[in-house]
């Protein structure tokens, strides 16, 4: 099996002995543990070294001169393990937030997958004892990274992960840019891009009872900003980026549309349906130009504006317009509104969603 459990520690003197005892109970007899200690001032390393005496070769320590962050600790651990030919690597915190009882399940899954993630964000998984804020930060961080990176993993930030050696080889560890907590996100994202088979299993993650978390506002901010750097390696536009640009373009078109609609329908009292159609034609042309030159520029690879694509975009937008008018009419019929333009605004929003998909997959899609 040759499993190596890697446990980074910084000031875990209160946890480490009991934690290692429990860990030793749940790993296969041939598996080894490597503690990576950054010269903890509380003497964590000395406790580990004392335990090593009775563990002939099951327990190892890598002592580093000073606090260099989670990423450096894990990278050093992987290098240590690669040199010694371990086949499976497990990342784990020393503070009991990652329960060793899950390890047998993870080992079952790693037979069929390249990466097994202990996940708090899938059905059956949860965090216990975190404040509302900390929970929000963690969940928000996972969702934020997931959207920006376009990566389907639900628990991107978690640190309880099992790796096959070849998955780590595919990631190209020296290319990792993270220093702190975005390390976990970057690892998972890179393994996803490399085509690894990833499995999430639900875990309950209790907050630590003893010692302090090393997470700080500074570390968090670094992690959030790092996501953009991590993403830079990717060449293709993400669908999310296109959607944002498409929505901004639609927003500009909506302003144009609403201004003309307000002038003609509310002030000039012209009938709203013909006015809505006129507004549509003006806005659609503006939207086509901006979407072509900006939102979907990368998909079109330098192609010039064309009447044909304008025609397709207009046709696609007619679908949106049908929904636009239906929603507007329904609202005018069933609600008393101070301005008719409010109903038109709701109609535009509904039409835009349909429009995005037609644009992305039919109009601005260069084969």
Q: Which residues bind to ligand GDD, rule: CB under 6 A?
A: 8-10, 12, 36-38, 67, 69-70, 73, 93-95, 97, 138, 157-159, 181, 184, 208, 213-215
Residue 17, Cβ density class (10 Å: 0-12 exposed, 13-18 middle, ≥19 buried) = middle
- Nearer of residues 58 and 214 to ligand GDD, judged by Cβ: 214
Q: Which of residues 75-94 bind Mn ion (CB under 5 A)?
A: 93
Cα(360)–Cα(256) distance, integer angstroms? 23
Q: Least CB distance from residue 94 to Mn ion, whole Å?
A: 8
Q: What is the dihedral of CA 289, 293, 296, 301, to 10 degrees?
A: 130
Counting contacts by CB under 5 A, is residue 38 touching Mn ion? no
Helix pair angle (340-358, 307-334), 10° resolution: 140
- As measured in angstroms, the least distance from the Cβ of 170 to ligand GDD is 21
User: How many CB atoms are closer than 10 A to CB 103?
Assistant: 23
Task: For the CB of residue 97, give the shortest distance to Mn ion in the complex, in Å.
Answer: 5
Judged by CB under 5 A, does residue 295 bind Mn ion? no
Closer by beta carbon to ligand GDD, 74 or else 246: 74
Smallest distance, Å, CB 99 to Mn ion?
A: 12
Contact in structure between 312 and 362 (CB atoms under 8 Å): yes
Placement of tokens 């490399």 in the chain: 194
Number of neighbouring beta carbons within 10 Å of residue 112? 9
Question: 190 to 219, contacts with Mn ion by CB under 5 A?
Answer: 208
Closest CB to ligand GDD among 45 and 107? 45
- Asked if 123 and 200 count as a contact pair (C-beta separation under 8 A), the reply is no
Q: Is 97 in the site for Mn ion (CB under 5 A)?
A: yes
The mark string for 105-144 relative to Mn ion (x by CB under 5 A, - otherwise) is ----------------------------------------
């Amino acid at each position: 099996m040759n499993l190596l459990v890697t446990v980074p520690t910084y000031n875990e003197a209160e946890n480490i002995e009991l934690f290692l005892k429990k860990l030793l109970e749940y790993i296969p007899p041939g598996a080894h543990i490597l503690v990576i200690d950054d010269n903890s001032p509380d003497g964590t390393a000395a406790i580990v070294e004392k335990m090593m005496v009775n563990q002939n070769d099951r327990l190892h320590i890598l002592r580093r001169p000073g606090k260099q962050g989670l990423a450096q600790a894990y990278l050093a651990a992987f290098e240590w393990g690669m040199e010694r030919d371990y086949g499976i690597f497990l990342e784990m915190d020393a503070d009991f937030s990652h329960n060793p009882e899950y390890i047998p399940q993870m080992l079952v899954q790693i037979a069929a997958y390249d990466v097994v993630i202990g996940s708090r964000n899938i059905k059956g998984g949860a965090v216990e004892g975190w404040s509302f804020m900390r929970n929000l930060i963690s969940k928000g961080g996972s969702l934020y990274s997931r959207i920006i990176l376009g990566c389907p993993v639900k628990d991107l930030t978690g640190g309880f992960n099992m790796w096959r050696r070849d998955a780590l080889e595919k990631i190209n560890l020296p290319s990792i840019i993270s220093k702190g907590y975005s390390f976990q996100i970057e690892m998972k994202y890179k393994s996803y891009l490399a085509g690894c088979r990833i499995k999430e299993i639900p875990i309950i993650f209790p907050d630590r009872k003893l010692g302090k978390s090393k997470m700080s506002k500074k570390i968090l901010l670094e992690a959030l900003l790092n996501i953009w750097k991590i993403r830079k390696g990717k060449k293709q536009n993400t669908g999310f980026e296109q959607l944002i640009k498409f929505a901004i373009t639609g927003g500009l078109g909506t302003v144009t549309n609403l201004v003309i609609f307000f002038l003609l329908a509310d002030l000039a009292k012209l009938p709203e349906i013909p006015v809505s159609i006129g507004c549509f034609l003006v806005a659609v042309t503006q939207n086509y130009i901006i979407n072509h030159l900006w939102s979907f520029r990368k998909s079109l690879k330098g192609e010039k504006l064309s009447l044909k694509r304008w025609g397709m975009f207009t046709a696609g937008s007619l679908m949106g317009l049908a929904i636009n008018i239906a929603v507007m009419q329904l609202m005018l019929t069933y609600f008393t509104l101070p301005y008719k333009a409010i109903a038109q605004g709701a109609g535009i929003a509904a039409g835009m969603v349909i429009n995005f998909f037609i644009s992305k997959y039919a109009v601005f899609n260069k084969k």
